[in-house]
Structure 1
């Protein structure tokens, strides 16, 4: 059986969950990846609330295997400033005191694991933020101890969260992404080591965030075969010629044609999805392929529909035998 193709609902947060379900069904998706906080309130404790969500998805023929908390997770380890006020619920932001924001975000992640359990879901995708992202470019010179201290802070804040996830038999899948504690293969390995290979910690694989950096995004799958907990299908285009704005993205918005790279609808960028499918087959990944649709230059309904069709067309299962196995008589 081919893998499920699901739609991540975060980019559809302006619509009700009922509307998103109806559109996902119309576009041909097999399920949803529910994005917080727009389509799920993890503060709810009434079992009927979670039953209502499952019934709604079931009515539309949609499955649920993952919920995601990117925006709240970002605040757990970040250097908090006014940017976070724009992405966090008011009850997380509170008075804006940085440590208070981080503590409330951590508590919300634990509630997210409990909500996942109530929904029968065992994977939460999200961000961690990073206390050392601002040290990415080493000038003024950054010492090794400064980086090590950042990973220690990440571990101090996240291991208690992961312990609670483990108690609930729920996994946390960090989306490897710029501004997070892990943004390429090297930093992903350091993050895994920092939490002592905690069984509840792994990765949400999204090739788009590595491709434009020049990171071997297919090799990443082979490097962490037992830690790929979830997969985002997202495409990105980067230029073959010099542009006005380089790989860091500059101070221009997504979609600006002066940028070296921009996200694109799946199949319209430079990501080699054929090799990704083969690598996922090789490591035995059978979870959903979730479309995180982002393309500033395209109507999102057109893009969501064509992305679903594209992934369903290229996905295939690994052969159970070598092609030449029947040559021998």
Structure 2
């Protein structure tokens, strides 16, 4: 397996700077952020601006990556593809197509996104909406030799307080969505979300092994005193960093058993990239702190990969 990271953590740096630094400290892969320059998402970045990126730039980047011994594991654009506002939904869907185009130019097989949610509808109705919206998106990706994948973050409170914002969050829903999608549509598996939701993050590897396209390395710390005070619904039903009973951490600083998790991935046949998604509030705030956190995550994961 190769170890990489999502470039959101170094979002203020140019792509060339990120490649130079990442290769110098031992990373072998990058999951490159491709949000629009202007967007409303937290934890987002525009490491590649797909609106100005060209095939010539793609050629230059491929040369740089080969020189540095690195690969791009995925392009990342996690936004609400089912937005209740149809104008916003159309924008997100069209931007996703541009990300797919750039991935195709770069020879990158994977693009990650969210399903999202139409907050005017319940989960069952959103699955029907998913089929309507994603069938053409999956087809478009296939026509470009790209596979779409969804991260399993529930995004509580994203559109409305206390509501799940990304309906692709549990095995029950994955089964239903995978039942109506081709094998080219899969999962960017993040165990941190499963842990705090009370879902067995080991069991899903065996059941969904053929749909695991990519893996996020993000840990989660449970704060027992806050869990006692708040209960599982958290800080008045919302997930605010530092206020809820759980908090995302770098690998090794939380509850995930990375040794067993990675061993199970290997047993299931997964041998691609483990990508650190750095949302650890202890090791963020400045580029240097984020770099130190990423290096710590890299050294920790090396033991198991």
TM-score by length of 1: 0.79
Q: Which runs of 5+ in 2 are unaligned?
A: 36-45, 155-164, 284-288
Q: Paired residue for 2:34, among 36, 41, 56?
A: 36
> Are 2:137 and 1:129 aligned?
no
TM-fit CA distance, 1:253:
6.9
SS in 1 for 2:197: coil
TM-fit CA distance, 1:152:
0.4
SS in 1 for 2:303: helix
Q: What value does the CA root-mean-square deviation take over the aligned residues?
A: 2.0
Alignment of 1:220-231 (within 5 A): 220-231=204-215
> Are 2:57 and 1:49 aligned?
yes
Aligned match of 1:189: 175
Q: Which has the larger radius of gyration?
A: 1
> Are 2:261 and 1:276 aligned?
yes
Q: Paired residue for 1:157, among 133, 144, 156?
A: 133
Q: Paired residue for 1:239, among 205, 223, 245?
A: 223
> Are 2:295 and 1:295 aligned?
no
Give the Cα–Cα distance (whole angstroms) in 1 for the partners of residues 203 and 279 of structure 2.
24
**Contact map agreement 2:220 2:254 (CA 8 A) in 1:** yes
Aligned match of 2:296: 306
Residues 88-142 of structure 1 deviation map (CA, whole Å, 9 limit, x = unaligned): xxxxxxxxxx21111121112122112111001111111121125x87xxxxxxx
TM-fit CA distance, 1:199:
2.5
Give the Cα–Cα distance (whole angstroms) in 1 for the partners of residues 31 and 98 of structure 2.
17
Residues 277-325 of structure 1 deviation map (CA, whole Å, 9 limit, x = unaligned): 122112111111111112101232221001011111112xxxxxxxxxx
> Are 2:92 and 1:114 aligned?
no
Question: Which runs of structure 1 show a deviation greater than 6 angstroms over 4 or more consecutive aligned residues?
Answer: none
TM-fit CA distance, 1:170:
1.0
Give the Cα–Cα distance (whole angstroms) in 2 for the partners of residues 200 and 287 of structure 1.
16
**Contact map agreement 2:194 2:200 (CA 8 A) in 1:** yes
Residues 147-201 of structure 1 deviation map (CA, whole Å, 9 limit, x = unaligned): 32221011111111001111222111100111212112112222223xx132321
**Contact map agreement 2:235 2:245 (CA 8 A) in 1:** no
**Contact map agreement 1:163 1:200 (CA 8 A) in 2:** no
Aligned match of 1:9: 7
Aligned match of 2:158: none
Aligned match of 1:205: 189
SS in 2 for 1:76: coil
Q: Paired residue for 1:100, among 84, 87, 104?
A: 87
TM-score by length of 2: 0.85
Q: Paired residue for 1:77, among 60, 63, 82?
A: 82
Cα distance change, pair 157–215 in 1 and its aligned pair in 2 (3 A): same
